[in-house]
Structure formats: structure tokens, C-alpha cells
Structure 1
Amino acid sequence: MGLTKIGVDLAPSKKVQGRQEEPERTNIDHIYAVGDVLEGAPELMPVALKAGKHLATRIHDRMIGEKSEEDILKNSKMNYDLIPSTVFTPTEYSFVGMTEGEAIAKFGEDDIEVYHRQITPLQFSIVQDSLKYAYMKVVCQISAEEKVLGIHYFGPGADEVIGGYGVAMKLGLQKKHLDDSIGIHPSTSEDLFNLDVTKRSGDNYAKTEC
């Protein structure tokens, strides 16, 4: 696109480098970038759509001139944290937040508790010779009252399940909140509310009963 010819900074990846305080704004005030071309932005259509809407609001507010720059950024800045995503394999894998490895790297292994469970979804168990399983994992930070840092779910309908947990995590979801909640029965996702085996314990994490 010849962006360097007009002075736009690019990251080593050749994507557009935004500003720390406003990622979509380049080093040139009137040039912006959203979506896959932006360094550090997840390459997801809903992310680009939301970022574009926030950007349009900020540009509008700056043109009107009735709000301070602080208020503009506070009220319409894109939040790139805790974005749910799905790998659309034949059995979906969905996740939001940190992986187990990322959490350990940031907080240390002693401060991370991982709850997990393997189950046989009802629709899989009907076929007696089926060897298909579902798996779920919740990554928590012990010192923060088991604040949930990541939720990972491999199973049927994972893409329909995980989205709401991103909202809950932004509001400070803790493991005890999951424990105090009731899932819909019979469903695969109800087991997220009944996780009681940790990886640290080494106990059997395969669920054998309904």
C-alpha cells in the first residue's frame, strides 16, 4: 500500500503499528487502521467490526469537540482483552482468556490452579462404539481468590457455549461463582459448574456418571 512512503510506522510483522493509548491510531494523527492489518489485533471479523464502530465514535466526538480526549478514550476505546474464539474442527474447541502455559508464565506455577474434566457428551454416548470425548478446563489464579484467567472447552456446540463467559470474566469471574451456579441438564456445558478435580492432584478427571 505504500504506507511507509507517507510515514506510517509498521511493526516488524509489516502490519500497521498503532499507539499504545489508542491502538487503531497510527503515528500520523489522521490515519487509522482496524482489523487484520493492525499489529496485535486478533484476526477475527467481530473484532474488526467492533473496533471500527468504536473508532467511528471517537472520530465523530473529536469532530464535534464537546468531549475531552480523556472522556473520548474512556467511553469508546476498544478492549482487546478476553475475546472468545473458536477453532471450527469437527468437534469445536472454544476458549477465552489465558492458556495454562500463559498463566504459569505470568504468575508462576504455584499460583495457578487448573480444574479439568473429560466427559462423554450424551449425543456421543448413543453410539456405543464411539470413542469421542469432550474436555473442559478452567485456569484460576489462587492468590486472587481463584479468579478465572481462562476457560477452555472442547466439545459439541463449544462455539455457542463460551461467549458468555467472556462477559463474566470481564466482571471478575471466580471459581466459586461457577461452583455456586447451576447448569442446564442434560447438557455438556453443565459440567463447567461442577469441576472439582485439579491437574495438580493427579486424580482421575474422567467423568463416568450422568
Structure 2
Amino acid sequence: MGSSEGGSGSYDYDVIVVGGGSGGLACAKRCAKHGKKVTLLDFVKPSPYGTKWGLGGTCVNVGCIPKKLMHYGALLGESAGDARSLGWTTFGKEDGKEHPTHDWETLVMSVQNYVRGLNFGYRTELREQSVDYKNEFGVFVDEHTIECTNKRGEKKNITGEYIVFAPGGRPRYLGVPGDKELCITSDDIFSLQKSPGKTLVVGASYIALECAGFLTAFGYDTYVMARSIFLRGFDQEVAEHIGSYMERHGTKIIKRCVPVKFEKVEDESSPNHGMIACTYKNLDFEFETTEYFDTVLLAVGRDACTTEVNLDAAGIKLNEKTGKVYVDEYDQTSTRNIFAIGDAVDTRQELTPVAIKSGERLADRLFGGRPEFKMDYLEVPTTVFTPLEYGCVGMSEELAVETYGMDKLEIYLSFLRPLEWKTNQEFHDAKKGVEHREDNSVFFKMITLKEENERVIGLHYVGPHAGEVIQGFAVAVKMKATKADFDDTVGIHPTVAEEFTMLKVTRSSGMDPTKRGC
């Protein structure tokens, strides 16, 4: 797995890291900490819309960080009714009724100021740790050589004993007329200078639903066009629960449809002048419909950045179907001295903490005297920041049934309304025509394996602060906790998370899992 002794020898660097996202940064800094001579290449090609950004990769610039800030901003608006019910009265009025108001430009400026601060911080940190940062695009020449091209088009070759490939991914386009010319993606939404107006979100992934959720909360007329199921790969009972909640609370769902083309309305006499005409097809009945939007956001998946870097020259093998790099359990590619981490690796979770931990452990294996310090990719917790947040760790019910069979499982369920929402029970959102805080919309699911003393193999929670709730329980699931372990733990009252310590109703019992009382 490499040696911790010696310098760069006949190479320019001990390690070349290609990609300045979460995984690449973590690996480069850890390699430098082990005394190695390291360079990190990072170059962002602008999106078709023209958006570009600084060091830090998807998460910092166009992913987790701006998404969470916008989601938090949306939650503040959702909490306006709660605040009013508890005595706060400083809200604007519209049509004689009290409503919170929102300014898109202020939101974007605040989010982007924070992101730019992170970009600067990463550059400073690399300099302080003696990592040679190059804002250049890297292409493989051979297994030890990278051709670097800077923003002026100047080229230079550098060599490294080891190369860590961590290029990340970029949003996918549909391949229909007008998509790249007229649509935006998650690369663009967080820095969009003008308010999006009436918006179509194409896709049913977590990115699609998260963006649609905060756009609806900010007051924009928002539509989601879903080809098939919501949140593929996640628990489908939970996914439907979230989708139904969003639809009841103002997001319009167009099901079983796909766009055919996008066109700009140029006719100045048209009431839709300047808008985007989306022609879409219903997959069940094959008829086509045209609807008009101010903004179309595509969230139909992501592709690994593996197509323009000449991987063949280094002998790196890809999964042709996914476009992702094959690696072994030590993150080693088909070429001995080249390793790959992060979103461009086949079968790995596309999650920032996974990339970071993978990068750090790779550096420790190569140079830290821990050759067997492998990354464990099982039971990785995650959270989807939809209006009702969803946190989970372990198996979905579908995967558990497929793996073990329904007769081997005991599944516990509960629905409730958090205490904080009960004070707002009488407040209705007049614009959406629904109760602002619905009863029994918070959902708990625990999947256990009977033959292993009801070991918890899947934990799912839909409700406030889902990431904070699941993070702690993820340790228990990782340590192979059983249902009895959860039952023996005293809950913190009054919290929603305590419900996991007192689950009683099973799916097999047929009893009502809705909660009553505090």
C-alpha cells in the first residue's frame, strides 16, 4: 500500500490529487500532514448557463452548504405561523391577512457571501499546510503524468508517484431540444440573480424535491415533473409520505411525464412572452402538453467527471454503464499507483462525509502506517432536506424484504405531531388551503431482524431536525443495537427523537400506529 519513507524521488510530487472537492481536499491535507509533497488540481468548467465557482467542490459551492442554508431560510418562513401562535406579531400583510414576505436577492447574496468565505478559507488552509494548489485542469498522460492546463490555456506536465482521482460529478441534462440553452440545474439555482418565478423542477431525486420544497416555501409557483417514483433507492413508504405532504402543501406534482422539448416564447404579443414553453409527454397515454414557466430546473441525475481526462492513457477501467471508476476495497483503481475516491467511484454513496473519510483513510493507509485502515461503506446515515426532513441509516424496507424476506422482519411504526407544532394546530395556510401543521405527519420506522434478537437493520425518521436525530442513532445501528437496546434507553422528554425508545406498534399487528397524547 505504499511507503511512509523517502521523498518524491524522480517525481515532481509524492501525490497528485485531481479534484478540489471534499474528498480531494481531505486527502491532500492528510497526505501533507504525513510529510508528503502534494499538489491539488481543481478547475471548474462553467455550466451551460454560465455559472462557475471556487475551490471546494459540489458540496460547498452548489450542493450541501447552499442547499441547507436555503432550506433553513424556507423553514423560517414555515415557522411564521408557529411564531404567531406563541405571541410574535411582526409579519407583513397581504390582502389584509398576515403573511411573511421573502426577498430572493437577499437570500442569494447571503448564501453566496458565505460560500465565497469558504472558498477563501480552503485556499488559505492548503497554503498553510504546504499543499501546492493549482487552479488547472488535469488530463492523464500516463500512470504517473498529468497534463495541467490553466485558465489562459497554457499547458504543463507534472509527475507524481501516486495519483488520487477525485473529480466529482456534474448534473445531467435530458438530451432534448433546448435543455442546455434554456434550463438550469443545481449548479445554477443557488446563485441565480433573479427570482425564479413560476418554476418547473424536472426529476424526482432528493435534489429535485429539496429544491422544489424551498421554492414552494418562498412563495414561488412550483411544479415537479416526475418520470416515475420519488427518491429512488430510499424507503418508498417514506418517499410517498414526503411527496404527498409536499403536494398537499403547495407543490404541484406532474406524474408519469417527461419533457420533449423546451422553447423560448419570442412572440411579443403572447401573454407568455419571455417564458419557457415546456412540451412534455405522458408516459401512460402518450399525449403531449405544453406549459409555460419562468424557470426550468433539471434534477435528473448526475454524471461522473470521467469523460475528458483521458483515463485510458493511465489504464484506469470504468464501469461503462455508469461512467464511474472501478476500485477495490482499498480504493485502488486498475492501475497500481492510482486511487479514486468520492462521487466518481462506482458503487460508492455520493455523500460528502463518505468522500472525506475515504480520502483521509486512503492517506493514512499510504503514508500513516495503517495499511488495513479501510473505509466501511455499510450503514452510512444520510438526510434529505425536503420540507419534512428525512433521515435514515441502514436498509430500506424494500431492501430488507429482498435480502431477508418479510417473515424474518419485525417492523415498528409510529406517526405523531411534535409538541412545537401543537400550539399552531388551529392555524391554516389560507393560500394553500391546508392545515399549516398537520397531525401525524412525523413518521418513524424501525426495521429489525427477528433471528438476530431483533437487531436494528434500518432506521427511518421523517420530521424536524432529521439529520440531528439520525446522527446519534446511526452509532447505535453501526454497533448492531437491538430493539431491546433502544427500549432500555431512557428518552429525553419532550422531544420527537424519544419516540425511537418507545416504539410498540408493528406492521404485522395491524394496529393503528398514530400517536395520541404527549
Q: TM-score, normalised by structure 1?
A: 0.91
Match of 1:112 in 2: 409
Summarize deviations over 1:119-155 as a string: whole Å, max 9, x none. 1111111112331520000000001100000100001
Listed as ranges, the matches of 1:23-172 within 5 Å are 24-61=331-368, 72-73=371-372, 76-129=373-426, 130-132=437-439, 133-172=441-480
SS of structure 2 residue aligned to 1:153: strand
The structure carrying a bigger helix percent of its residues is 1
Match of 2:132 in 1: none
Runs of 4+ aligned residues of structure 1 deviating over 2 Å after TM superposition are: none
Match of 2:272 in 1: none
Are positions 1:179 and 2:487 aligned together?
Answer: yes
Q: Which has the larger radius of gyration?
A: 2
Hey, what's the Cα distance between the residues in 2 that align with 1:125 and 1:5?
A: 62
Residue type of the partner of 2:380? I
Structure 1 unmatched ranges of 5 or more: 62-66
Summarize deviations over 1:64-101 as a string: whole Å, max 9, x none. xxx6xxx622xx10011111100001221000000111
Hey, what's the Cα distance between the residues in 1 that align with 2:514 and 2:397?
A: 19
SS of structure 2 residue aligned to 1:131: coil
SS of structure 1 residue aligned to 2:438: coil
Hey, what's the Cα distance between the residues in 2 that align with 1:166 and 1:127?
A: 31
Match of 1:6 in 2: 314
Q: CA deviation at 1:6?
A: 2.2
Hey, what's the Cα distance between the residues in 2 that align with 1:72 and 1:128?
A: 57
Match of 2:325 in 1: 16
Identical-pair percentage: 38
Q: Which moved more, 1:2-11 or 1:177-186?
A: 2-11
Number of residue pairs matched? 198
Residue type of the partner of 1:13? T
The CA RMSD over aligned residues, in Å, is 1.2
Q: TM-score, normalised by structure 2?
A: 0.38
